Chain A
Amino acid sequence: MDLVYRHNRITRFTHWTNALALMILFMSGLMIFNAHPNLYWGNVSQADRAFFSIGAANDDGDLRGFVKLYGREVDTTGFLGAQQTGFMPTARAFPSWLTVPGYYSLAAGRRWHFFFGWLFVINGLLYIFYNLAVGHLRKFCFTPADAAKVPAMIAYYLHLRKTSPQEDEYNPLQKMAYTGVFVILTPLILLSGMAMSPQLNIAFNWLPAVFGGRQSARSIHFILAFGFGFFVFGHVFMVLTQGFLNNMRSMTTGWYRKKVPLAAKPIKAAAPVRPDIAQALKSKPEVSSSLSDDDAEKPLSATPASAPQTAENETLATPDGGKKHD
């Protein structure tokens, strides 16, 4: 087994802090939303102008939950709008198992939200400054060259293409996702959150207008929260499908086992009798390795497992260097 040191201490610490912060921010945010489960565009909230609502209606003595988007209504009894609690359904926009706290308390939801908002920001700054300093951040940077490779990468994931167009440590889709989170999602969710604050409406009284008014800022904040939710869903899906234990190990201990995939198989036949075949096989890995040089996700060629040639990009700026165990 070829273990490489993939994530240093700061990356691991900030990753899990971020995971906790995002989870609590999302769930306490849903609690805060429950206090007024309607969204509007503009500065103010006129009851009949909500474009999105979660609500409950009394339907012949039965409490019925619904979600309404631009006048279109969907029955969501049991999940959104009306939740089964004990003997009878209770009116509640997001169900208790999705909110922090589970019981209705706007005051407590806000307290959780603002504390973990600070944690999210401070933790994010630690991550960003550290990774800027060590030059790791540019590996995530989604460039026009990456954009050109996105269709090929999608085709590869859909098994419509045999070879991955990935050339760097992170593939084009990963770069797109991370760059999107760093430069779009995170700044916008912070600013739209700040645009809702009355005190900041004095400090920067142009801020709500940037989003089209305070209620627009609130709606955008809500939508972006689900942008984060979508990212986390994709992220966890990839972790589960691309080697759950290996990924979890690398994010807890730092050590990641390089994949030795099926492509390495022909090497086994490296002892054929015919010298021409041997010649052909021998030249092959060289061709492919020149096409795509260093890459963490990619098969290590036929070289013996201990070959340290890729260690330099993994161990970049790690406190305990190229130390390996197992």
Chain B
Amino acid sequence: MTKSAISRRNLLVRAAQGIGLLAMSGCEKVFDSLSQNSTVQTILEAAEQGNRRVQRVLTGEDKLAQEFSEKDISPKFRSNGNPPPITMEYAEDARNQWAKWRLEIGGLVKQPGQFSLTDLRAMPSRTQITRHDCVEGWSVIGKWKGVQLQLLLKQVTPTPDARYVVFRCMDTDDSGALYYESIDLTDAVHPQTLLAYELNGQPLPVENGAPLRLRVENQLGYKHAKYIRSLELVSGLEKIGQGKGGYWEDQGYEWYAGI
């Protein structure tokens, strides 16, 4: 009786081990196929909506991202993503200190506008020392100076049906696809949302997005569009790019990158 109980236990343990091993190799295949199944992914994406809504409610109004002091600034501000634009035009603009470059703002606005870098520098500026968090997991602290996006939006006056700001960029991936990003108006008018032209007291370096880049401190790095050429106000994102609201979003990353 005791003996058979022991061997039965052995058998059970062996069986459990076997099932475990099978499960491990099977698991990988199951999760891989579930990760590529559109129905499953739609269900999982429901959490994204939850994250955005709950986090927005928790955030409330007029709260600011943590700002740091000069001594916290990282020695090097890491750059990531696409290499800088390789067009002749970009190289020439860079040589001429962006004298010919213009930021165009259009779409659902009452007064479309064009702004030179000098125009932007002449506007009231905000300087902030903030932490930049990449979706990959790393963080770096830098000091940014730029124009609050809300000031620019006031100048162009969005129409009532404008819901998003789309950022058109000059950098491309190896297939030639242009980078773009989008944020909604709630984030666009946040006091720390800047179009930055200076990093750590210097004109924005080429690898960090010269001449102008976005700072949207409530979201991860991939939302911070670099090498901005134009802004477009739109009511929906479906017709832009592949319809997900950004270069990385089109490749499966979440549009809401607050988490």
Q: Is B28 an interface residue (CB 8 A)?
A: yes
Also in contact, A36 and B24, with CB within 8 A (given A101-B32, A111-B41, A117-B47): no
Contact (Cβ within 8 A) B44 A199: no
Contact (Cβ within 8 A) B133 A43: no
Binds A, one of B66-74, B90-98, B103-111, B161-169: B66-74
Q: Nearest chain-B residue to A107 (Cβ)?
A: B252
Contact (Cβ within 8 A) B50 A118: yes
Which single member of A43, A111, A215 contacts B45 (CB below 8 Å)? Answer: A111
List B residues 1-48 near A (Cβ within 8 Å).
Answer: 9, 12-13, 16, 24-25, 27-29, 31-32, 34-35, 41, 43-48
Contact (Cβ within 8 A) B44 A115: yes
Q: How far is the CA of A136 from the CA of B15 in the complex (A)?
A: 34
Q: Is A17 an interface residue (CB 8 A)?
A: no
Contact (Cβ within 8 A) A205 B74: no
Also in contact, A244 and B13, with CB within 8 A (given A97-B27, A105-B35, A106-B136): yes
Q: Which residues of B contact A110 (CB under 8 A)?
A: 135, 253-254
* Interface size classification for chain B: 35 or more
Interface size for A (C-beta < 8 A) is 46
Q: How far is the CA of A203 from the CA of B65 in the complex (A)?
A: 8
Also in contact, A43 and B68, with CB within 8 A (given A105-B252, A196-B133): yes
Also in contact, A244 and B138, with CB within 8 A (given A198-B65, A200-B55, A214-B131): no
Contact (Cβ within 8 A) A114 B140: no
Contact (Cβ within 8 A) A32 B12: no
Q: Is B194 an interface residue (CB 8 A)?
A: no
Contact (Cβ within 8 A) B58 A200: yes
CB distance from B180 to the nearest CB of A (A): 17
Contact (Cβ within 8 A) B35 A198: no
**Interface-centre pick from A108, A198, A202, A206 (highest chain B CB count, 10 A):** A198
Q: How far is the CA of A117 from the CA of B65 in the complex (A)?
A: 24
Q: Nearest chain-A residue to B256 (Cβ)?
A: A199
Contact (Cβ within 8 A) B28 A199: no
Q: How far is the CA of A205 from the CA of B217 in the complex (A)?
A: 12
Could you name 22 residue pairs across A and B whose Cβ atoms are closer than 8 Å? A38-B138, A44-B74, A44-B131, A45-B137, A45-B139, A97-B25, A105-B252, A106-B253, A111-B45, A112-B35, A196-B259, A198-B219, A199-B59, A200-B58, A200-B258, A203-B58, A203-B59, A203-B63, A244-B12, A244-B13, A244-B16, A245-B12
B: which residues have CB within 8 A of A? 9, 12-13, 16, 24-25, 27-29, 31-32, 34-35, 41, 43-48, 50-51, 55-56, 58-60, 63-66, 68, 72, 74-75, 131, 133-141, 217-220, 248, 251-254, 257-259
A: which residues have CB within 8 A of B? 27, 32-33, 35-36, 38, 43-46, 96-97, 100-103, 105-108, 110-112, 114-115, 117-118, 196-206, 208-209, 214-215, 218, 240, 244-245
